[in-house]
Each structure stands twice: as C-alpha cells, then as structure tokens.
C-alpha cells in the first residue's frame, strides 16, 4: 500500500514537473522577446494563475502530499504552485524596475505601496481569522 | 473562495497572459540583415525589435562570401514606427565609414529595405601579414544598439 502510494505520488510529481517545465520553457522562450509592459502583464497574470490554481487544488485529492513521511509532507501541489507564483511575481517586479518609460521615484513608490499593502492586508486577514477561531480569547466570554 | 471560482480565475489569467504574449509577438517590428545568394535574399540575422528596449541585442553574423547586402525592417504593428538606422563598415586597417544614417518612418504594416555594397576601395591591399583583407559591416537600430554585423571578404 505504501509503495503504491509512493508510486502514485512520484507519477503525480512527475506530471507536475513536466507541466511546469513546459510553462517555464514558454516563459523563457517568448517573454524576453516582447515589450516590457507586456512582460509585466503576462508575468503578473501567470503568477495569479498559479496562485489561484493552488487554491483550487488545495481542496481536491490532488492537493495531498506527493509522498508519505514526515520530511516530505510539506511537498504538496498547492505549495509548489504558490512558490511558482512567488517566482513569477518577483520576476515581474524585476521587469517593472527595468521599464524605462516610468520615472525611478514613481517605480519605487508603487513597489513600496504594493509590498507594504500586501503585508498589511495579509496581517489583517490573519488577525481576523484569529479572532474568529473558537480558541481565541475574544470568543471565550 | 469556492474552488470552482479559483479554477475559473486561474484559467482566465493564464489565457489572457498567453493572449498578451501572442499578440505582442505578432504585432512587432522585425528586422533582418540579408545577403543575396544566387539571386535570392537569405537572412544572416533577424530579430524582433522593441522600440523601447533598453537592452541592446548584438548579433554577429557569419562571414559573407558575396557583397550584396540588405537591411530590411517590417512594421507589423497597426501604428507608425520610427527607427534610427545606421549602417557602416570598418576594414581591419581603417576607420569606420558610414553608408547610411537615417530615421525611417514606417507606416502601419509597411516594410522598408536598403540594399548596399561595400565598395572595392574599402578593402585594403593584401599583405603577407593580412593576405585576406576583410571588412566588417555593422548595422545599428536605434542609437548605439548594434543589431547585426557581418564580415565581407575582399574582391
């Protein structure tokens, strides 16, 4: 049973690896040849696509860990997709800094607003989720 | 968020990203350095060219056996394009000589080309140290960004 699960996990991992390599090859082949604004838009959209695909897979059977065992339980398809979304977003940020049409100060300002805004939004959502959990002190009245 | 909504957003984002890349690649400026071989123009080097690119692309073409050359630019976009074109040649023992220095205004979906030869006078006399004098032809698109070069063998 364990070996069968390992084989299933390995094949699923291989499927993901092949698909991700294909997408990476597409990105590496064509994205450098297009204009910077198109690069930025396509990288941002691909990052969102990966992130939302991870959200979808989290609720499915494919969202289970690839392999059994305590050391590799973290390696799940949603985690891989979130990491790819992260890489895409960082690549988009680097492309954004390389755009000549915009003043540098404005690029820095936009990036800071985006980064700090992201941190604040996530922190507030986490705080809200904590308050709503059954173990939170606010609920134990 | 419902899983189906997440999947729909993911597919939509991916489709739009692929669409943007495809459209940008289709509607672009392409340029080519060509050489005439047996009556037909053959491409030495071609490139998608971005007017706003800040990263110059430099290509070194193979040595040319003949001296009929052409630079061709295609504006595959629905808007006008202005391209600064500079063509010059440099012999191994001389200064650079400019053949063409112009700004081409290309209408939407228009093509323009410039045929040129390196004159025999550009080739220095053969010596024992340099028995096969050559001339390097350089093509620049937009400021100093070198697009392509090729080496032309002497007569």
Answer whether B52 sits within 8 Å of A34, measured CB to CB.
Answer: no
Verify whether the Cβ–Cβ distance A46 to B52 is below 8 Å. no
pLDDT at A36: 80
Chain B residues in contact with A41 (beta carbon < 8 A) = 17, 20
* Mean pLDDT (chain B, rounded): 74
pLDDT > 90? residue A111: yes
Query: What's the average model confidence in pLDDT over A62-90?
Result: 83
pLDDT digits (tens, 9 = 90+) for A44-70: 999 999 999 988 888 777 777 777 777
CB contact under 8 A, B24 and A60: no
DSSP A2-29: HHHHHHHHHHHHHHHHHHHHHHHHHHHH
pLDDT per residue over B19-47, tens digit each? 988 888 777 777 777 878 778 887 777 76
What pLDDT is stored for residue B16 in this prediction? Answer: 93
Give the one of A38, A53, A55 whose C-beta lies nearest to B24's C-beta. Answer: A38
On whether the CB atoms of residues B82 and B99 are closer than 8 A, the answer is no
Per-residue pLDDT band for A126 (boundaries 50, 70, 90) equals: confident
Whether A131 and A138 have beta carbons less than 8 Å apart is answered as yes
CA A65 to mean position of chain CA atoms: 17
Higher pLDDT: A44 or B140? It is A44
In this structure, how many other beta carbons lie within 10 angstroms of the beta carbon of residue A8? 13
Contacting residues of B for A42, CB less than 8 Å apart: 17-18, 20-21
Q: Which of the residue ranges A23-27, B60-64, B73-77, B109-113 would you say has the lowest mean pLDDT?
A: B60-64
- What is the torsional sign of CA A62, A66, A72, A73? positive
More reliable by pLDDT, B153 or B98: B98
d(CA B54, CA B43) in angstroms, rounded, equals 25
The average pLDDT across A101-124 equals: 90
Nearest-angstrom CA–CA distance, B57 and B36: 24
**Site from A24, A56, A63 to mutate, B interface, most B CB atoms within 10 angstroms:** A56
In percent, the amount of chain A with pLDDT more than 70 equals 88
Mean pLDDT confidence for B116-133? 76
How far does Cα B60 stand from its chain's mean position? 11
Question: How many Cβ pairs within 8 Å bridge chains A and B?
Answer: 74
pTM to 2 decimals?
0.61
More confident residue, B17 or A126: B17
User: What backbone phi and psi angles, to 5 degrees, belong to B38?
Assistant: 55, 45
Q: DSSP string spanning B17-82?
A: HHHHHHHHHHSSEEEEEEEEETTEEEEEEEEEE-TT--S----BPPPBSS--EEEEEEE-SSS-EE
- Interval A90-99: pLDDT, tens: 999 999 998 8
The mean pLDDT value of chain A amounts to: 82
Tell whether the torsion through CA atoms of A7, A11, A17 and A20 is positive or negative. Answer: negative
CA dihedral sign of residues A22, A28, A29, A30: positive
């Amino acid at each position: 049973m364990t070996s069968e699960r390992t084989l299933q996990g390995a094949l699923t991992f291989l499927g993901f690896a092949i698909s991700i390599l294909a997408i990476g090859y597409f990105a590496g082949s064509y994205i450098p040849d297009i204009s910077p604004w198109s690069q930025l838009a396509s990288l941002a959209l691909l990052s969102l696509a990966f992130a939302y695909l991870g959200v979808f897979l989290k609720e499915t059977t494919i969202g289970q860990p690839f392999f059994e065992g305590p050391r590799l339980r973290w390696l799940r398809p949603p985690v891989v997709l979130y990491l790819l979304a992260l890489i895409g977003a960082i690549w988009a940020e680097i492309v954004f800094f390389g755009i000549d049409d915009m003043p540098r100060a404005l690029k820095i300002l936009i990036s800071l607003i985006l980064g700090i805004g992201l941190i604040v939004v996530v922190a507030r959502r986490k705080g809200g989720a904590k308050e709503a959990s059954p173990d939170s002190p606010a609920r134990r009245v | 968020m419902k899983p189906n909504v997440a999947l729909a957003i993911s597919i939509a984002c991916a489709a739009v990203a692929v669409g943007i890349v495809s459209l940008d690649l289709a509607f672009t400026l392409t340029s080519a350095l060509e050489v005439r071989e047996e009556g037909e123009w053959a491409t030495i080097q071609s490139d998608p060219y971005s007017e706003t690119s800040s990263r110059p692309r430099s290509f070194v073409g193979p040595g040319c056996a003949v001296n009929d050359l052409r630079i061709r630019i295609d504006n595959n976009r629905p808007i006008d394009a202005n391209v600064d074109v500079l063509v010059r040649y440099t012999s191994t023992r001389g200064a650079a000589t400019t053949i063409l220095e112009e700004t081409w205004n290309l209408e939407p979906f228009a093509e323009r080309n410039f045929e040129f030869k390196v004159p025999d006078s550009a080739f220095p006399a053969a010596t024992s140290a340099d028995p096969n004098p050559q001339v390097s032809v350089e093509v620049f698109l937009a400021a100093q960004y070198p697009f392509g070069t090729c080496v032309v063998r002497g007569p």
